[in-house]
Amino acid sequence: MQAMQFEQSVASILRRDKRFDPQAYFFLKEALDFTLKRICEGNGGDERHVTGPELLVGFRDHALEQFGPMAWTLMDEWGVRRCEHVGEMVFQLIEEQVFGKQESDKREDFSEMFDFEMELIQPFLPSRGVAKRDCNVNS
């Protein structure tokens, strides 16, 4: 799909629904490409349909890779706060005929597969272990 067509589709969605920032849709497209590449590499170079759960994992991993500790902050700013939000954007793009769909695909595929916020924050939290110190005091 050409960039202009994608932009027009996003603009069409935003006229009806302003919940998500336009950048979230562009990032979703990048995350789909990221996920497809990952699947191809693990599948002997053959492309296949991406499932909702696979796309969620790819979306999360791509966000962590691209934005690091700022991933959650950006997603929150863009209005993408739950797995279901990714699914909502996917189905909006399906309705615009930008993304394809199989009969087995449904919105429920994106239902809280994981705690979206924690998945984007957890990798950057300090470990719970307390640093050990040498407490031997020489008298």
Predicted pLDDT of residue 130: 55
pTM of the model as a whole? 0.86
Confidence of residue 11 (pLDDT cuts 50, 70, 90): very high
Q: What is the pLDDT of residues 13-66, one digit of tens each?
A: 999 999 999 999 999 999 999 999 999 887 777 778 899 999 999 999 999 999
**Residue 128 phi, psi (nearest 5):** -80, -15
Confidence of residue 134 (pLDDT cuts 50, 70, 90): low
Name the residue with tokens 């640093």.
131
Token pair in block for residue 30: 């990048």
Helix (H) or strand (E) holding 104: none
For the chain, list the strands marked E by DSSP: none
pLDDT for 139 beyond 80: no
